[in-house]
Structure 1
Amino acid sequence: MAMKDLLTEENIKKAMDAFKAADSFDYKKFFDMVGLKAMSADSVKQVFKLLDVDESGYIEEEELKFVLKGFSSEGRDLTDKETQTFLSAADKDGDGKIGIDEFEALVHE
């Protein structure tokens, strides 16, 4: 399965274009623009599985840095500041990584 099987290419491109500049990434706006916020919890969990590149059951800080590339090969790397902001917002149990339920909760926050 690929990201374009879950989200429209048009929405992915629109969201990528909106956050091209370094330090412009806003996960809440991104989730809304890409169409994640409107998806069911199960569909959001399918997206999580695509972003969990090493299939560990978590999105670790190193994977999070490349999260936009998970949506599109043209996506940029997140800056260290953006990565930390995203991780801090999602990591509710403080283990330094984002679990599938934490990700789904953040998307639907």
Structure 2
Amino acid sequence: MSMTELLNAEDIKQAIGAFAATDSFDHKRFFQMVGLKKKSADDVKKVFHILDKDKSGFIEEDELGFILKGFSADARDLSVKETKTLLAAGDKDGDGKIGVDEFSSLVAES
């Protein structure tokens, strides 16, 4: 399954463009712009599984750095600061990674 089967390709392109500058990433605004906020709980989980590149059941810190590439292959990587900020926002249980329920909560609070 690809991201464009779940989300509008033009919305993804605009959202990626809006955060093209380093240290500009705002996950709440990004999730709204790509339309993830409006998706069903099942669709949010499908997006999580696309972003979980190693299929571990978690999005680890190294995967978070490439989260924008999960939406569009030509997107930039997050900076270390942006990655740590996103991890801090999503990692509710403090285990250093984001599980599917934590991801769903992260999207819901956007």
TM-score, normalised to structure 2's length? 0.98
Alpha-carbon shift at residue 74 of structure 1 (Å): 1.1
Per the alignment, residue 82 of structure 1 pairs with 82
**Which residue does 2:100 correspond to in 1?**
100
Deviation at 1:6, TM superposition (A): 0.4
Matches of 2:89 and 2:103 in 1, distance apart?
A: 10
1:67 matched to which residue of 2? Answer: 67
1:1-109 matches, cutoff 5 A: 1-109=1-109
For 1:55, what is the secondary structure of its paired residue?
coil
Q: Quote how far apart the aligned CAs of 1:13 are.
A: 0.3
Deviating above 2 A after TM superposition, structure 1's stretches of 4 or more consecutive aligned residues are none
| SS at 1:98 equivalent | strand
Displacement, 1:64? 0.3
Identity across aligned pairs (percent)? 64
Pairwise CA distance, 1:36: 0.4
**Any stretches of 5+ residues in structure 2 without a counterpart?**
none
Q: Helix, strand or coil for the counterpart of 2:21?
A: coil
Q: Compute the TM-score of the two structures, normalised by the length of structure 1.
A: 0.99
Q: Which runs of 5+ in 1 are unaligned?
A: none
